Structure 1
């Protein structure tokens, strides 16, 4: 399953709002995509999801920290760096996460992302970030 895993990683190097057609080379038409905020079924809906996501970011890049494949599964550990004009005062945001993939017919049929939603979004919003800091302090016993 190494070639599909390499295609998956390579796709994220070139994926942008103006070339979403590359999704068809990697994702199965019956793809299920899940992350902590969304669940998307089917390639058409996944394409719409990425169109919306990539339209709203100024820049996005994934650094692959580790990867491996076994049988029909792939695992990718990554660090995402992105800039969204309305988050973190337009400065870069760094999110660590990993993806669990299932393969069928040399394509990804199931993609589940795991990451800290606070790191991605909540800590980047001025009002919520101050509330989260208070909760973090209380949880750590301060």
Structure 2
């Protein structure tokens, strides 16, 4: 199975994985960044995912586009794994344990992969859309602000 297939299978429904499965795609020295925090090393990433997934009923990712972008560094061979960055566009469908509603969120991930292991993983998404807009009082305030910005 290719690295890409392994990644897609793992993220198909994160809530169903064994945390130890992350080692199949993440490098021991991975740096994992999202709008909430930064983690250094596979052990820290495993701990972070465990905490997230303990509160999650389902977390499904649909990879909408996967782009491979070669480095602009002219003195290295463009076919080298170190020269590559992968950019993924995705949609996440999240259902938290004990909550009735699904959260759907679009995002982008930047990956740097070395020897079929992720050395750098950075997620970009709207944290407000994911969290704040699902808190009743904040939801109304954010909708009001967005409406004002559009007028």
Common fold: TM-score over 0.5: yes
2:135 aligned to which of 100, 118, 125: 125
- Match of 2:87? 75
- Match of 2:101? 91
Aligned residue pairs, count: 138
Structure number with larger C-alpha Rg: 2
The CA deviation at 1:4 is: 2.3
CA separation of 1:6 and 1:74: change in aligned 2, threshold 3 A: farther
The CA deviation at 1:74 is: 1.0
Q: Does 2:121 match 1:111?
A: yes
TM-score (ref. length: structure 2) = 0.83
**The structure with more helix, counted as a fraction of residues:** 1
- Match of 1:56? 55
* Secondary structure in 2 matching 1:90: coil
Contact 2:91 2:107 in 1 (8 A): yes
Root mean square deviation of aligned Cα: 1.9
TM-score (ref. length: structure 1) = 0.88
- Match of 2:28? 29
